[in-house]
Amino acid sequence: MNLRMKRALTTFLLLFGAASLPAAELVEKIVARVNDRLITHSDFERRLDVASQAPNAPTDRAKLRQGLLDDMIQEKLLEERAEDLSAEATDAEIESAVERIKRQYNLATDAEFDAALASSNLTREELKRQMRHSITLQKVVGRDVTSKIEMNDDVLRMEYERRKEELYRLPEQARVSEIVLRFDSQDAAGRAAASIEEARAKIAAGTPFADVARETSQGNARERGGDLGLVSKGELLPALDAVVFSDPPQEYPAPVLLGSSIHLFRVTERKPPGYRPFAEVREDLKKRLSENLYDKRYDEYITRLRREAFIKIYDPALEKPAEKKAS
């Protein structure tokens, strides 16, 4: 396992392992109470130490502490909801999650896996315990939030009409074939221009454009008879784009001379601007919409759980203004 992958796995295991550490057995300071569940000072500080080392952690210590407390309160609310629903991860789901971690971090053997766990002061049982906790909470969210997000075609079509200009607009397109000759001097430019004129004469006399391209072109599409496929307006260099998308359309526009090449095109089809069809983008729309709706519904869900719960913050520095006023 390479060093970069080992570091990534270590971070992952630290984040997962932090929540599974047992609470201190002795009576200790309480940071917050969520109904009958307590967030102890020692648990909070252990989680804070890990959170401060996470990628993209806030540099503002107060912001980091407040965000962590919010996360831990959410966990307590979801744990209580899991009990209400009798929701719990199965052994098979836990084993499957462990196998996904091993594949993700390219841990081919049990020895490599155990070594990675040991480097984070974790055992397999501790990891599985935290996996059970995480999957159980995911089940609660799946039942109470994800399953209630409606995604029928009427909703998707409305979203399609609302966002097709932003997401799915197609520029004007043309089906293009090309003969290109390259040169590195003024004399060579003259010879290339003469060769292009010879190619034009052959085409005008009835030789297929593709045959002439295979014979004379120096472009990457030579073996395909110069076929570039569908080209979108704005995709080519401006001088080439202007010729391919000329108005009125021309099947054989005039050759274009650039600094070190000359180009002859055949334009066999022009497609006006439009939009990718709904059927083609339906799954992309569904994914985008479900992500947006999920964030909104999840925030509403947690807000409702908090409103219905008894939550007491015992550390004044962690109380939000509204919570201070309420207390």
For position 249, what pLDDT does the model report?
92
9 and 82 co-located in one domain: yes
231 and 109 co-located in one domain: no
For position 117, what pLDDT does the model report?
86
Per-residue pLDDT tens digits for 219-252: 999 999 999 999 999 999 999 999 999 999 999 9
pLDDT, average across residues 162-191: 93
241 and 307 co-located in one domain: no
For position 315, what pLDDT does the model report?
87
pLDDT, average across residues 130-143: 93
191 and 141 co-located in one domain: no
Is pLDDT of 25 > 80? no
Name the domain count of the chain: 2
Per-residue pLDDT tens digits for 84-101: 999 999 999 999 998 998
260 and 318 co-located in one domain: no
Domain residue limits at 9: 3-148+293-326
User: b vs e for 172-198, b when ≥16 Cβ sit within 10 Å of the residue's Cβ?
Assistant: ebbbbbbbbbebeeeeebeebeebbee
- Asked whether residue 287 is domain-assigned, the answer is no
- Asked whether residue 45 is domain-assigned, the answer is yes
Cα–chain center distance at 161: 23
Query: For residue 317, what pLDDT band results from cuts at 50, 70 and 90?
Result: confident
Query: Is the CA virtual torsion 142, 146, 150, 153 positive or negative?
Result: negative
- Asked whether residue 158 is domain-assigned, the answer is no
55 and 92 co-located in one domain: yes
Q: What is the CATH classification number for the domain harbouring 59?
A: 1.10.4030.10
Q: Is residue 228 a contact partner of residue 192, using CB atoms and an 8 Å limit?
A: no
Is pLDDT of 7 > 70? no
Per DSSP, the three-state class of 179 is strand
Mean pLDDT (the chain) is 87
140 and 41 co-located in one domain: yes
Q: 198 or 108: which carries more pLDDT confidence?
A: 198
61 and 139 co-located in one domain: yes
108 and 174 co-located in one domain: no
175 and 266 co-located in one domain: yes
Is pLDDT of 141 > 70? yes
- Asked whether residue 154 is domain-assigned, the answer is no
Query: Is the CA virtual torsion 90, 93, 97, 102 positive or negative?
Result: positive
